[in-house]
Amino acid sequence: MRRITLLLFVIVLVTACQKDAGDGGNSSIRGKVTKEIRLILDNPNTTQHVVPAADVDMYIQYGDHTSPDDRIQTNYDGEFEFLQLRPGKYTIYCFSKDTNSVAVNWDEDHMPIIRNVEITDSKQVVEVDEMVVFDQN
């Protein structure tokens, strides 16, 4: 009887210690955002120049959450880093001006640029592919 009780206690203890994606770990996700300036927003052939995207709001969602769990801004060189994350799945995103030719008038500044990321190990640094936001000159 003691063995069964001890076994159940160990199982409960182990499952209680497993944590979902989120803060409190030793891993990080980092990347860079650039801004592509165009004369005509929906025409890539009118690109004037590409510059680091400073002060862009970056959002992170932990696991399957539907709302952002944290927000930071890119630095002067367009770089960002979410620190102290645990292993798990994350969604990183920011917003750009809409480059569709039929932009929605009420939301033309909120086309999402999204990256899905998975941290598989503690003390891991995951590099996100470059994210490009668009603006009109």
89 vs 106: CA distance, rounded Å: 31
Q: pLDDT per residue over 81-95, tens digit each?
A: 999 999 999 999 999
Give the H/E segment covering residue 131.
strand 131-136
Q: What is the DSSP letter of 106?
A: G
pTM of the model: 0.82
Task: Take residue 126 and report the two structure tokens written for it.
Answer: 């995951």
Tell me the pLDDT tens digit for each residue of 101-116. 555 566 777 889 999 9
Strands (E), 19-130: 23-38, 47-52, 57-62, 70-73, 79-85, 88-96, 111-119, 125-127
